[in-house]
Amino acid sequence: MLSDFDQNTQYRRKVLQVLLLITFFGGFVFGLSNIYRELYTLAFLELGYGLFSFLVWRQIGNTTNFQFWVISYLFPFFSIMMYALSVPGSSQSIFVWILTIPVISYLLLGKKIGFYFSIVFMTLGISIFHLKFMTDDIPLSITVSLNVILSGVLMIALAHVYERNREKNEERLMQLAGTDKLTGLANRMKLIDVYASASEYAKRHNVPLTIVLFDLDYFKKINDLYGHHVGDAALCFVADFLKKHTRKSDLLARFGGEEFALIMLASKPKDSFQQVDSLRKKLMNKPFIYNKKEINITLSAGISYLGVDGTDLDDLLVKADERLYFAKENGRNRVVADVLADNIEPSNSAK
C-alpha cells in the first residue's frame, strides 16, 4: 500500500504533467503573439519558458526530487505573470491568469506551502494591477479595487478549503483502507506499509526491530461451542486487550483469522520477548466474559528479529510463523523466540 506521501506525489505529478503541456503550448502561442506586438522581452521569456516546460515534462514522470521541480516550475511561471502584467501595453485581462495562482499553488504544493506561494504572488499581482490600471476616477477605482481584492481573497479561500478537505478525505480513505473492519486494528496492508518505513528507520539508526505473530489457542472450540458471533466478540476482546497493553509506538495488526501481528521498534530482543510473554500471562489471567459466561483465552506467539532472521518482511513473518507453529506443537500458551535456545524459550504455562 502506498504511503500518504507517495499518494500525494502521484496525484500532484499528474496535475503537473497536464500543466506543463498547457504551459508548453501556451508559451509558444503567447510568445509568437507578443513578437507580433513587438513585446520582445516578454515574447522570448514566454518562448524560453515554454521550452523549459517541455523539458521538465519529459523528466517529471520518473524524477524522485519532485518538490524541487515543482518549485522550479512555479516560481518563474508566476514571476513571468507578474512581468507580463506590468509590461507597458499589456491589458487588464492578464489579471485573469493571476487568479489561477492559488489553485495551481495548492494543487502542486499542498496546504501549507501553497498558502505562502498564493499570498506572496497574489499580493504582488494585485499591487501591480493597482499601480498600473487605477484611474483618477475615484468611485470607479474603488469599485475596481474591491472587485480585484475580493476575487483574489475568494480564490485563496476556496483553494485552501478545498485542499484542506481533500487532505482530510484522503487521510480518512487511507485509514479505512488500512483498517480491519471487525477489530478496528491495522490490517495486513497497513502492516506492510508501516514495516517499510520502520525497517528503514531501524537500519538507518541501528535500532532493533521485532516481528511478533500471535495466534489464539483452541479458538475453533469457541466458535463451535458458542457460535461465530461469540468468536467475533472474542477477537474484539483480544484485539482491545493487546492494544491496551502494547506501546503506542508499536503497530498491532490483525493478520488474518485469529492471528495478530506486532511490529516492535527500538526494543532489545530480551526486552521484546519479556513484553510479549507478559502479554501472554496477563491474557491467561483475564477471562473473556460473554453473557455472564467466563471463557478462558490463551495465546501462543512466535518472534523474529530484523537482521538476525532476515531483512524483508516476508522472511521475518516466515521465521515468526515457524516459531509460532513450534509453540503450538509444544503445548500452546507460550512464546518462542528461538527453538534452539533453551535460555530464551519460556516455560510452558498452559492449563
Please give the positions annotated as active site.
Answer: 258
Sequence-distant (≥ 6) Cβ neighbours of residue 209 within 8 angstroms:
198, 199, 202, 263, 264, 265, 266, 305, 306, 307
Strand ranges (E), the chain: 209-216, 251-256, 259-265, 288-290, 293-295, 299-305, 335-336
**Cell, residue 246:** 502494547
Burial class (CB in 10 A: 0-12, 13-18, 19+), 51: middle
262: alpha, beta or left? (left if phi > 0; alpha if psi -120 to 50):
beta
Whose CA is closest to 53, among 83, 85, 84, 30? 30
CA–CA separation, 185 and 16 (whole Å):
36
CA–CA separation, 81 and 125 (whole Å):
8
Cα-based torsion angle of the residue sequence 89, 95, 96, 98 in order, rounded to the nearest 10 degrees:
130
Three-state secondary structure readout of 294-323: EECCCEEEEEEECCCCCCCHHHHHHHHHHH
CA–CA separation, 200 and 313 (whole Å):
12
CA–CA separation, 117 and 133 (whole Å):
24
CB 293 within 8 A of CB 278: no
Sequence-distant (≥ 6) Cβ neighbours of residue 214 within 8 angstroms:
242, 259, 260, 261, 262, 299, 300, 301, 324
Whose CA is closest to 336, among 310, 313, 304, 309? 304
CA–CA separation, 260 and 274 (whole Å):
18
